[in-house]
Structure 1
């Protein structure tokens, strides 16, 4: 799951776009544009293996030169995202990742996030995790779960002719869709929930992503033209002249006929900071439908709310005698339908500004099944083997 790491990714991709030398496509505007074709080795794979002596499942999405990786320890059940260090080719072609965890869950005494050096191949993953101790990482691909393929669009533009700066815009859009052509219901959900397409839209996901990315670039071009027309192009702050748009996706669970897709987004179009978020799509691949929370839990809001509030206190270290407004806007935590699940529990995600200030980032509340057992739907228990 991608959280505030999107802000770091924004910086990395901005550097990428500024370094790129693009071919001219519109001499009248003094701009350069490049659309990168998908590499032949784009793939999604699920792996099973160990980190140290702990069994784990790892999900990898490779698209071009980028990687989206997460893992879940089998005995804990909470997903850990890995932030890819783009220019980090190490010995033996290993890649460098930083383990990203919510600040409230980190050991303050550790000081830094754990790093992983991984050699990723379709036939396996090897490497090491460096944290409080060094642990060996070993994974092999598993045939369990549904097949998915990454679909993406990458584009960048540079506007020349400015005295102090060269405005740039970068868009990177990668979504997973099922490998079966019959799973059009899934593609429709992605286009509607992530790209805002109309329900009657019949375009392919590739076409929809291309249109979405090109629209962002064209909006940037229009904004620059407006700035020029106003005659203040040389007075704008450097940061406001560099737009960035990202959508990335990976599965955090893919088994028992369920697929939990985590979709992260980040956009900067001027202003004090960019906006980011995370949408969780819980899919029943057997029934070909998106799951509602009622498909997993039979529980009323009056019962669920205090459970979430207690876990909010635990996760974000809010003492029982302190008000929730130490973090939240209100004293009570509103419920959300942005949820996910793994073999060990259910998580609930709130976007920045939804219930708390931007500085607190995404609010992620995790509740283990051990506390929800009386409320789990029987069919869900049977399918998950809980």
Structure 2
């Protein structure tokens, strides 16, 4: 019965997509609870639709974690996301981006964390306690990938380009003690940074289960991402207050070279929320020179270190940015006045077009009814025609898509 209802809902949304624009309502996004399945944002003129129909709270992946797997024939690309039901059980689901059908992948009641997709293997990889599992997106069969040694509190966060190695980091026991004593980020963040706790980057072979320690430092290591094209290149960051760290680094597993990708140029400068370009040739990041004064989306060439800056104004700054499949456009998820930019009018989903050394913005979604503690985390759809994000302007978190082309 549940699957039948989801299918009916998807069919209904497809029917709405076929209606002429005059039949679609122009509404203030989030002003109604619930919103219709599809509407036109009255402030931007762009069409929106809700993609998630699974009952409960639904959240798309973090901005730099790829959630998409290509269709096998012409059945539609799929996007993986998390659903949390009324009992608090978290499961992985897929959305078919052609039919909009929501389909459950996992069924175990155990807590699941992690957002790693293996598109060639057609698996989603996640962790439950000390065990790493992979579930096939088509067959829903689940296999055990790896079990961490007893007492080792860590996890994997990324998969390399040829889908042979997972990577993550682990820290000394002092870090867990700080977390226990100071559970709020505002309390533990500086304490972990100041403690200079030993951290180690490691890999796990997906086939053999071999774990290998590859790099250690007496500082907080995080935000670990493999290059999308070079299976030997791993990016990581020095965590901590951004104005105190040269944050962005790479590690080459062939040469063991550790390379700083951006060095701060003035007191108080920050750079972070880094992510790879689609071709793996550039690392993009939010740069502020100094913090909260001038705002840029900056790209560092992986091979040469040469940087390209695109300036934006305060209101256009976004918590996270992302790049289109053809690498010609960017998107941002905006931010409320409490964020670092202190923007008075920054609560929008943005599309950005590079023009010279600046980004020209277009507003896609008015987010004034969204609570920004739940970060939207924008993704471009595989066809480059939609911006997909998560939001709570209806109450529970749901997954939405905003059309890049303006509605006629």
**Is the TM value for this pair above 0.5?**
no
Q: Which has the higher helix share?
A: 1
Structure 2 length-normalised TM: 0.23
Q: What is the TM-score when the length of structure 1 is the normalising length?
A: 0.24
